[in-house]
With several copies, the nearest count.
Chain A
Amino acid sequence: MAEKTMLEAVHDAMFDEMKRDPRVLVMGEDVGGGGVFRATQGLSEEFGPDRCIDTPLAESAIVGVAIGASLNGIIPVAEIQFADFIHPAMDQIVSEAARMRYRSNGGWGCPITIRAPYGGGIHGGPYHSQSVEAIYGHVPGLKVVCVATPYDAKGLLKSAIRDPDPVIFLEHKRAYRLYRQDVPEDDYTVPIGVAEVKRKGKDITLVTYGMMLHHSLQAAETVQAEDGVSVEVIDLRTISPLDKQTFLKSVEKTGKALVVYEDNLTGGFGAEVAAIIAQEGFEFLDGPVTRIASPDVPISPYASVLEEFVLPNPEKIAKAIRELAAY
């Protein structure tokens, strides 16, 4: 077993799947030369330029062509260079990929994976920092994965590529090279739609995903050490389909729920998590279902001081934990 970054894990998953299944190919802007993050490094050399395809600069085409190709025996992994640039492909994703199976009564399927690096904290300004999971997590017919660790990234990307339905696969940019983790060389998958308790605790249930997982774990350590508050940290990993049992079970135990996400507060996916807890976990609750997220401004302004002001971080999360614990 080797230690890998999340970026390497993403690369390896594509490499393995292309090796395993000749129908799998990668397409997107600059992927042929390895991609701007180097996630597709070497794929063109290994599998030839016909399986690692530099497309024209046109996101709607990337997705729309992938859809068509997937109807004809290809399993495309389409890369959107930054999640911020997925919007021109919105119609193809929502009207087409997500509904192909439903509208044809199961006649056609659309086994595509759309990878997109997302998230802030990297001085990317308002066009290289966005979170887009709430948009797609709301669309029936799409599966949406938000990975934050090397192990999960490899296992979930393999599941996504093998999935018979369209998967939006969001990789948090700041987690790309954050740390290394043991990642098996062997074939393994992590199932789509299953959350994981990343830290056990008994006082508060903290539900999160993406980069906020790491900030939350750090905050949990801090409050454990400084305040003796024990926080259970749940990594959703997939936001659609949503594994609500895992967090409801935890809230049943702790009685308190904190939902942490990086996206704008209003209408972010954490609202859905909070709403489920407020309905289905109501009887367990000993305190308000609390949300920590970015304020409702474009994420994120470029200047460091502004970006830091906007994004949630371990301190802000720890503060919220303390307040909720004291409730």
Chain B
Amino acid sequence: MVSVSEPPSELGLSDDQLLDILYKMMLARATGQRERMLNRMGKAPFAVSGEGHEATQVGTAYALLPGKDWVVPYYRDIGVALVVGQTVRDLMLEFLARGENVSSGGRNMPSHFSDPKLRIVSGSAPVGTQILHAVGTAFASKLRGLDEVSMVWFGDGATSEGDCHEGMNFAGVHKLPVVFVCEHNQYAISVHWTKQMAVENVAVRAEGYGFPGVTVDGNDVLAVYRAAREAVDRARRGEGPTFIEAKTYRLVPHTSDDDDRRYRPREEVEEWSKKDPIRRFQAYLEEHGLLDAKTRDKLAKKAAEEVDAATDYAEKAPPPDPETALRHVFKEEEGE
């Protein structure tokens, strides 16, 4: 596994950017936690968050040019959505299925991010289908001679789907500017990765499609960022796809419908809590003199306030008008 030990300066990130990365991770965590809390309070029927995946999500998305590059996330990617420009308010409006929400106007389940102006492609629930969409946006970029990059995120379980194979193969044949990010959290709901694949590192499959695959420590945000950066640069240079496997862990159940005590030993969860990517990055920044307790608390407070404000706003926002259920099946005439 690639892991980062060198000083942050080597990565070309400014101190502000490093703190911004930390903040986005904290914000993603706080948002996910709040959503799960609201769910437990009975304010929303469903919640799914990426707690534990923050390094992977923020580290990869941070390598993109927001608004220019194509973002094709899956349901766990609160961190991705925040990095490329969605606000917590956007997410809370979506979470509470308010009419105003930009992702879907209350039609899709929570965490099915969509935002045309940010080039976040609307996602569905069937696992893995979005991989082909990212290959498609990248294909269009190439055909149109645009130096955009497409990035797509999915889980370890998703690698078993036919669409994952077809997408990687298509991307390899056409040498497309697409980065595949596998957030390998070792489980597909209750199914351990050893029942999903017979290889230690699924990134080795990339070779069979004619492009590089790398395995990184998905809880090390700078290692992830470096791998993503290289992949994005490579793609932008026209050298084709890269597959990034980020080994991580979700610290919470699969969704609000799941009880992970059935299948994950508490010791394992404990073990991984110690590797918490946020605490780890904080320690790293402290070590390099870029963060102190005061700043950390300030950031935490800021994140909490942002989440509070967004929650307040969203709770007050009205649900969609029932009749809107009939709209947008097909394109509407102007003025309709």
Contact = CB atoms under 8 A, between A and B. Distances in A.
A and B touch in the complex (CB under 8 A): yes
Contacts of A56: 157, 160, 166, 169-170, 173, 191, 195-197
Closest 6 CB pairs of A and B: A68-B136, A64-B132, A127-B125, A105-B105, A303-B106, A72-B140
B215 interface: no
Given A64-B133, A301-B107, A96 B262 contact: no
A61 B132 contact: yes
A60 to B, nearest CB: 5
Given A56-B169, A306-B322, A64 B329 contact: no
A263 interface: no
A74 B140 contact: yes
A68 B112 CA distance: 17
Contacts of B112: 103, 125
B136 A69 contact: yes
Contacts of A59: 161
Interface in A136-183: 140-141, 143, 164-165
A135 to B, nearest CB: 15
A56 B325 CA distance: 35
B219 interface: no
B139 A69 contact: yes
B160 A57 contact: yes
A43 to B, nearest CB: 14
B107 A85 contact: no
A68 B139 contact: yes
B197 A32 contact: no
Interface string B307-336: 000000000000111111111111110000
Interface in B191-232: 191, 195-197
Interface residues of A, number: 71
Q: Which of B101, B126, B157, B263 counts the most chain A CB atoms within 10 A?
A: B126
Contact of B109 (A68, A108, A125, A296): A125
Nearest to B140: A72
Contacts of B129: 64, 91-92, 95-96
Q: Which of A61, A92, A95, A107 counts the most chain B CB atoms within 10 A?
A: A61
Given A127-B124, A297-B326, A302-B107, A88 B136 contact: no
Contacts of B328: 101-102, 105-106
B41 interface: no
29 contacts: A32-B190, A57-B157, A58-B162, A58-B169, A58-B170, A60-B162, A61-B163, A64-B167, A68-B137, A68-B150, A71-B137, A72-B70, A74-B143, A88-B126, A88-B162, A95-B125, A103-B104, A105-B101, A105-B324, A108-B114, A108-B121, A109-B331, A123-B45, A124-B109, A125-B112, A125-B125, A164-B330, A295-B326, A306-B107
A30 B190 contact: yes
Interface of A: 25, 29-30, 32-34, 36, 50, 54-61, 63-74, 84-85, 87-88, 91-92, 95-96, 99-109, 123-128, 140-141, 143, 164-165, 295-298, 301-306, 308-310
A29 B188 contact: yes
B191 A30 contact: yes
B49 interface: no
Contacts of A69: 136-137, 139-140, 143
B109 A302 contact: yes
Interface in B236-250: none
Contacts of B110: 302
A306 B324 contact: yes
A78 to B, nearest CB: 11
Contacts of A143: 330
B137 A303 contact: no
A30 B262 CA distance: 11
B7 to A, nearest CB: 38
A303 B320 contact: yes
Contact of B329 (A34, A61, A102, A107): A102
B125 A57 contact: no
B167 A61 contact: yes
Interface in B110-138: 110, 112, 114-116, 121-122, 124-129, 131-138
Contact of A65 (B136, B160, B196): B136
A71 to B, nearest CB: 6
A264 B278 CA distance: 46
B143 A25 contact: yes
A56 B143 CA distance: 17
Contacts of A101: 328-331
Contacts of B329: 101-102, 140-141, 296-298
Nearest to B125: A127
Contacts of A65: 132, 135-136, 139, 167, 170
Contact of A61 (B144, B166, B327): B166
Nearest to A49: B195
B97 interface: yes
Given A104-B104, A296-B329, A60 B136 contact: no
A84 B102 contact: no
A263 to B, nearest CB: 15
Given A91-B163, A101-B330, 18 more contacts: A32-B191, A36-B257, A50-B143, A56-B191, A68-B132, A69-B137, A70-B136, A70-B140, A72-B140, A85-B126, A104-B104, A104-B114, A106-B332, A108-B121, A301-B106, A302-B110, A303-B320, A305-B320
B108 interface: yes
Contacts of A140: 329
